[in-house]
Amino acid sequence: MARPPRDAPHPPRRSSSRNNVVVISSPPRSAHRSAHRRAEPTPYVDLTRAEWSALREKTPLPLTADEVERLRGLGDVIDLDEVRDVYLPLSRLLNLYVGATDALRGALNTFLGDTGGGHGTQYGTPFVIGVAGSVAVGKSTVARLLQALLARWPEHPRVELVTTDGFLWPMKELKERGLLARKGFPESYDRRALTRFVADIKAGKDEVTAPVYSHLIYDIVPGQRLTVRRPDILIVEGLNVLQPALPGKDGRTRVGLADYFDFSVYVDAKPEDIEQWYLNRFKKLRNTAFQNPDSYFHRHTAVTEDEAMEYARTMWRTINKPNLLENVAPTRGRADLVLRKGPDHKVQRLRLRKL
């Protein structure tokens, strides 16, 4: 049991009665000041892993160990305990958010008197979740886990997952714009097309398409499109999904991608831990996916491991780390929930924004 703090407020001093009025002396001012320091209000609720895990209550675990293994990204160490302790409570929380949004939508329809042809809100629009974080931090695994867990709710919602990789400019375009060394930075994306894609889904369009990205060829796949048809829930995963919109040339504020999110998650860790995960993943890819002759990185299998890893360290130092520090990490405060990982890739603490 934790010891009480030494500067705990003093109990009220002895009361006295004067003319039938009870007078209670106040604690010393120093006690008020120390109590104020401990109770400083913040817009967040900070939780340990144990505190967060207890919030899952009796929510059943719908995934098997084999399913978790298939959803796990290369280098991630996620297991059933991690799913049970971290992602089941998150699934329960999101269920509450979706239910509350549905109730609010019903109230809005009643207010508008929408009977089918008026304002077009009676059918609702997808609940959109954003998942952000650095390269190699595990955000793709988080997004896939959420998709699997949310789809297994009793209501069996249709859950679609879209990554922002499909909205990177093609390699040819990046070269022409001088952005090849900035791939992954905000300017390397067709941000207007990405925002329009999510806006169309949020508007309730029956069918919306997106480009397809291949990690094998490290480029957009010509002629291929991903089709999304009115999902109940859409998960958008990517490095910069929480970036605020840039002002237009006329100086006016634009609508940004995150403005369409109903809930957002930021996967956080120390940069030095992410760097190690990035290097470990590169080494594993060199021995697996990079062996494919069609892989963009196949050339790194023809050099020594030391040479290949020096290239990976250069990529981290000149591209991924600067992007993390300049663009990705500063958006952490915009998230509704921050998952803070430790060096072992496991979530240790969480920060939830208050309503």
Average pLDDT, the chain: 88
Distances (CA, A) of 104 to 91, 108, 112: 20, 6, 12
State residue 143's pLDDT score: 96
State residue 70's pLDDT score: 85
The yes-or-no verdict on residue 119 having pLDDT over 80 is no
Confidence of residue 65 (pLDDT cuts 50, 70, 90): confident
Domain coverage including residue 213: 43-110+123-353
Greater confidence (11 vs 254) lies with 254
CA 339 to CA 346: how far, in whole Å? 9
Exposed/middle/buried for 65, CB within 10 Å: 0-12, 13-18, 19+? exposed
State residue 248's pLDDT score: 75
Give a yes or no: residue 15 inside a domain.
no
Per-position b or e across 250-259, b if 16+ CB within 10 A of its CB: eeeeeebbbe
Give a yes or no: residue 19 inside a domain.
no
| φ and ψ at residue 305, rounded to 5 degrees | -60, -40
Q: Any idea which of 124-128, 130-134, 269-273, 322-326 has the lowest mean pLDDT?
A: 124-128
Q: Output the known binding site for ATP.
A: 133-140
- 16-30 pLDDT, tens digit each: 444 444 444 444 554
State residue 21's pLDDT score: 43
**Percentage of the residues of the chain whose pLDDT score is greater than 90:** 72
Confidence of residue 14 (pLDDT cuts 50, 70, 90): very low
Confidence of residue 124 (pLDDT cuts 50, 70, 90): confident
Q: Output the known binding site.
A: 133-140
CA 222 to CA 210: how far, in whole Å? 12
Give a yes or no: residue 29 inside a domain.
no
pTM to 2 decimals? 0.85
Q: Taking residues 134-158, what's their average pLDDT?
A: 94
Confidence of residue 126 (pLDDT cuts 50, 70, 90): very high
Give a yes or no: residue 10 inside a domain.
no
Give a yes or no: residue 33 inside a domain.
no
Residue 141 has which token pair? 């695994």
Give a yes or no: residue 4 inside a domain.
no
Structural domain total, the chain: 1
- 87-117 pLDDT, tens digit each: 999 999 999 999 999 999 889 888 888 554 4
Greater confidence (57 vs 202) lies with 202
State residue 74's pLDDT score: 62
The yes-or-no verdict on residue 316 having pLDDT over 80 is yes
Give a yes or no: residue 26 inside a domain.
no
CATH code of the domain containing 272 = 3.40.50.300
Contact 264, 334 (CB under 8 A): yes
State residue 1's pLDDT score: 46
State residue 16's pLDDT score: 45
Q: Taking residues 307-316, what's their average pLDDT?
A: 98
Distances (CA, A) of 23 to 15, 18, 31, 39, 149: 6, 7, 19, 26, 58
- 270-307 pLDDT, tens digit each: 999 999 999 999 999 999 999 999 999 999 999 999 99
Q: Taking residues 46-61, what's their average pLDDT?
A: 91
CA 188 to CA 192: how far, in whole Å? 12
Give a yes or no: residue 6 inside a domain.
no
Contact 338, 332 (CB under 8 A): yes
